Amino acid sequence: METTILLWIAAALLIIAGFAGLVLPALPGLPLVFLGLLMAAWIEGFAYVGWGTITILAILTGFALLVDVLSGLLGAKRFGAGKSGMTGAALGTVVGLAFGLPGIIIGPFIGAVLGELYAHKDLRSASTAGLGVWIGIAIGIATRIAVAFIMVGVFLLARFV
């Protein structure tokens, strides 16, 4: 098999794995999509997709990663979490990583609730803060998915238009 074809297959696999990683927490979705698009541009010697487009894709990747990291914490804050609740949500996320997908989903909620209870808030307001974390995480996932499609669109426009 020709080397160029193998490189195109590798680029496509990176992009596919990246799209899977947008919803599967074990895979770094957006960085994989970016690397796949970068590889696709490199295969053609950056003849169609230049460094300006690659820079735009890198900025989009960084923006989406920042939104993703902050969205859960900002969701908790928006729903009334204090410093203890936000710290608990962050710790719950880290601890949840050890338990796979269920831990990543439940960990931030439990962390926010426990943090708020530690700060002597009632269970209702603590649970509301936990709900805010979940809403923030959902916004982060939606942002990742939207940005991934935008990145592919920008790449295709640069390549074919």
Q: Could you tell me the pTM of the whole model? A: 0.84
For residues 89 and 133, the answer to whether their CB atoms sit within 8 Å is: yes
Q: What is the pLDDT of residue 69?
A: 80
Q: What is the pLDDT of residue 57?
A: 98
Q: What is the pLDDT of residue 153?
A: 98
Domain boundaries, the chain: 3-160
Backbone angles phi, psi at 129, to 5 degrees: -65, -40
For residues 89 and 81, the answer to whether their CB atoms sit within 8 Å is: yes
Q: What is the pLDDT of residue 97?
A: 85
Q: Which residues of the chain have pLDDT under 50?
A: none
Q: What is the pLDDT of residue 148?
A: 97
